[in-house]
Amino acid sequence: MLRFAEEILLLLLRDGGGRFVPVPGIALDNALAGGVLMDLALENRIDTDAERLILIDATPVGDSLLDPTLAAIAGGERRDALYWVGRTARRAAEIRQEALSRLVERGILEHDEGRFGWVFRSRRYPTVDGTAEREVKLRILGVLLSDDLPDPRDIVIIGLADACGILGELLPKGEYGRARARIDQVRKLDLIGQATARAVHDIEMWLAAGSAQD
């Protein structure tokens, strides 16, 4: 399974262009940071309340994208999710590079020197059980432009991308306004009974607040 940081990068990759959709640097940094925190929430390592981010389990996940932030949370003072978004965003360049390297190792991307950018090596993503996962961009557009019930992870990534203000750059011209009601609908869906729904929601709120301040 891909981590949210990896899926955010795939979401922003231009089809055939070898480059990423241009979004403000702070938006991408916050999206990568939020993705790390959301993955930690879904791994039952953190939770949130109205005033702070709460460490549930300091045991390393065994994932180098997540464990540095988990270790920092475990060794630091109790702070709110906004603080940890900002703290993790300082590692955004490192997170981005590692996520890209992992996508290359998985056979999903390759670096095209001729285009000075990244291109898809595969349109379907291998997963640990040997099956394939449809490209994240196609999945997300499929959710937003239909009434289909989304997967819980797709609910999270739509909220993450929306909170950071990058959905408007992703959707085809003229589609964003028409999709706005659907985006709001998806963001209100329960994560199929996931106990981490509140943490994910709170992280989204802090991401939106942080992006507005910057």
Strand extents, DSSP E, 67-142: 109-112, 117-120, 124-126, 132-134
CB 89 within 8 A of CB 34: no
Name the more confident of 190 and 14. 14
The verdict on pTM exceeding 0.75 is yes
Distances (CA, A) of 72 to 22, 88, 143: 30, 9, 35
Listed residue (177, 183, 95) closest to 143, CA to CA: 183
- pLDDT value of residue 153: 83
Q: Is 174 helix (H, G, I), strand (E, B) or coil?
A: coil
pLDDT surpassing 90 at residue 70:
yes
In the structure encoding, which two tokens stand for residue 165, read together?
A: 């203000």
Taken in order 149, 151, 94, 72, is the CA torsion positive or negative?
positive
Q: What would the pLDDT profile of 2-18 be if each residue is shown by its tens digit?
A: 899 998 888 887 765 56
- The DSSP call for residue 151 is P
- The DSSP call for residue 121 is S
Q: What would the pLDDT profile of 18-63 be if each residue is shown by its tens digit?
A: 677 777 778 888 889 989 998 998 899 998 876 788 899 999 999 9
Let me know the angle formed at the C-alpha of 192 by 131 and 9, rounded to the nearest 5 degrees: 50
Alpha-carbon gap, residue 79 to 126, rounded angstroms: 37
Q: What would the pLDDT profile of 101-159 be if each residue is shown by its tens digit?
A: 898 888 888 766 545 455 555 555 554 444 445 678 888 888 888 888 888 888 888 88
